[in-house]
Structure 1
Amino acid sequence: MARSGSFVLWLHGLGDSGPANEPIKDLFTSPEFSNTKWSFPSAPSAPVTCNYGHVMPSWFDIPQIPVTHGSPKDENGLLKAVRNVHATIDKEIAAGTNPNNIFICGFSQGGALTLASVLLYPKTLGGGAVFSGWVPFSPLSIIEQITPEAKRTPILWSHGTVDSTVLFKAGQAGPPFLETIGVPCEFKPYPGLGHSISNEELRYLESWIKARLQSSS
Structure 2
Amino acid sequence: MSSLVRFLFSLAAAIAAASLLAASLRRRVQPPRLPDLFNPGTMAARNRSFVLWLHGLGDSGPANEPIRNFFTAPEFRLTKWAFPSAPNAPVSCNHGAVMPSWFDIHELPMSPGSPQDEGGVLKAVENVHAMIDREVAAGIHPDNIFVCGFSQGGALTLASVLLYPKKLGGGAVFSGWVPFGSSVIERVSAEARKVM
Q: Read off the aligned partner of 1:36 and give its amino acid letter.
A: T
Report runs of 4+ in structure 1 exceeding 6 Å deviation. none
User: Are the equivalent residues in 2 in contact too, given 1:99–1:123 (CA < 8 A)?
Assistant: yes
Whether contact under 8 Å (1:11, 1:111) holds in the other structure is: yes
Retained in 2: the 8 A contact 1:69–1:134?
A: no
- Provide Cα deviations, 1:135-157, integer angstroms capped at 9, x if missing partner: 11002x11221111010111xxx
Q: Say whether 1:125 aligns with 2:168.
A: yes
Q: How far did residue 66 of structure 1 move?
A: 1.6
TM-score by length of structure 1 reads 0.69
Question: Shift of the alpha carbon at 1:113?
Answer: 0.4
User: Following superposition of structure 1 onto structure 2, how do residues 133-172 of structure 1 map, counting pairs within 5 Å?
Assistant: 133-139=176-182, 141-154=183-196
Which whole-Å CA distance do the structure 2 matches of 1:149 and 1:53 have between them? 38
Amino acid at match of 1:111: G
Which structure dedicates a bigger proportion of its chain to helix?
2
Identity of matched residues, %: 72
1:11 CA drift (Å): 0.4
Q: Greater Rg, structure 1 or structure 2?
A: 2
Query: Per-residue displacement from partner, 1:162-204 (whole Å, max 9, x unpaired)?
Result: xxxxxxxxxxxxxxxxxxxxxxxxxxxxxxxxxxxxxxxxxxx
- Measured after TM superposition, the shift of residue 72 of structure 1 is 1.1
Alpha-carbon separation, structure 1, partners of 2:151 and 2:79: 23
2-side partners of 1:116 and 1:16: how far apart?
19
Which has the larger strand fraction?
1
User: Unaligned 5+ residue runs, structure 2?
Assistant: 1-40
Cα deviation for residue 29 of structure 1 reads: 1.0
Structure 1: distance between partners of 2:106 and 2:165: 29
RMSD: 1.0
Matched, 1:88 2:159: no
Match of 1:168 in 2: none
